[in-house]
């Protein structure tokens, strides 16, 4: 299951809407081992295409270095499908190389209602997972360090 | 001094879980051959039909080697080679 803050969901959807009809892509970094998405990192789609995306390689290295310095990993890797269902395409599956990441797809083919789905993709096998949107991780059961401080 | 190579999570099964390993060579191709000698299985994940695999990005220091000669890119002692999975799809 992906547990994710509402503001991060809204940021992904806004990015997908902004770049529509081209595909938008990005990642959400979180502390290594936490499985908790925290830092929104929209990425350039080097392909600028309605049917394909690719992280810009130079930007990807820069972001990778930042994440290493912060002991972060890409907890979420997201992109949009602007004309088709938000289900991983054959190309998405062949490139999926982060077995610990949640692959989030945002469908923007309907101008009013977006569709957001999350998947694990491991060794070419796609498994959809539920998404729980929370206001804050304080009250969600995402880890032992989430107990609210004080009383 | 050797060349330090950063290994992405997906390839660490070939390096016993190590995030970075050392290698030697004066071109990227030689570095990859040296990696293969010590960490069998890595080369086929990086090279296909004599060129870099489209599923990986390889950088020498801050330079994407696709713009600096690919497998012929020059490397020297003290350089950092970073391998990242390409993030792409349709």
CA neighbor of B65 nearest in space, from B78, B46, B49? B46
> Over the stretch B37-64, which tens digit does the pLDDT of each residue have?
999 999 999 999 999 999 999 999 999 9
Query: In A, what residues contact B, Cβ < 8 A?
Result: 23, 25, 27, 43, 47, 51-55, 57-58, 60-61, 64, 73, 77, 79, 88-92, 94-100
pLDDT at A138: 83
What are the residue boundaries of the structural domains of chain A, listed by start? 2-134
Among residues 65-84 of chain B, which lie with CB inside 8 Å of chain A?
66, 82, 84
Contact A64 B87 (CB under 8 A): no
Contact B90 A58 (CB under 8 A): no
Helix, strand, coil shares, percent, chain B, to 5: 30, 30, 35
Domain harbouring B14, CATH code: 3.10.20.30
Domain topology for A2-134: Cytidine Deaminase; domain 2 (3.40.140)
Q: How many domains would you assign to chain B? A: 1
Distance CA B84, CA A110 (A): 34
Identify the helix (H) or strand (E) that includes residue A7: helix A6-19
Kindly give the parts of chain A with pLDDT less than 70. Answer: 139-151
pLDDT at A144: 54
Q: What is the ipTM of this complex?
A: 0.92
Instruction: Return the residue of B nearest to A50 by Cα.
Output: B90
CA neighbor of A79 nearest in space, from B3, B27, B14, B87? B87
Both tokens of A85, joined, read 């269902």
pLDDT at A74: 97
């Amino acid at each position: 299951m992906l547990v994710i803050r509402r503001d991060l969901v809204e940021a992904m959807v806004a990015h997908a809407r902004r770049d529509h009809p081209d595909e938008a892509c990005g990642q959400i970094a979180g502390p290594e081992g936490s499985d908790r998405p925290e830092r929104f990192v929209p990425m350039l789609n080097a392909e600028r295409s309605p049917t394909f995306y690719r992280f810009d390689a130079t930007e990807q290295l820069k972001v990778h270095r930042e994440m290493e310095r912060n002991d972060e990993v890409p907890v979420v890797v997201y992109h949009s499908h602007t004309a088709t269902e938000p289900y991983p395409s054959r190309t998405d599956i062949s490139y999926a190389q982060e077995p610990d990441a949640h692959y989030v797809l945002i469908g923007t083919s309907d101008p009013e209602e977006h569709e957001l789905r999350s998947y694990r993709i491991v060794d070419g096998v796609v498994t959809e997972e539920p998404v729980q949107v929370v206001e804050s991780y304080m009250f969600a059961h995402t880890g032992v360090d989430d107990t609210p401080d004080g009383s | 001094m050797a060349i330090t190579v950063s290994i992405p999570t997906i390839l660490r099964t070939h390096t016993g879980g190590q995030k970075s390993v050392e290698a030697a060579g004066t071109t990227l191709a030689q570095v990859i051959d040296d990696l293969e000698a010590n960490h069998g299985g890595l080369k086929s994940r990086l090279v296909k039909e004599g060129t870099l695999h489209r599923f990986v990005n390889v950088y020498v220091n801050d330079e994407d080697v696709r713009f600096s000669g690919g497998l012929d890119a020059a490397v020297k002692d003290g350089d950092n080679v970073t391998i990242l999975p390409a993030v792409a799809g349709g």
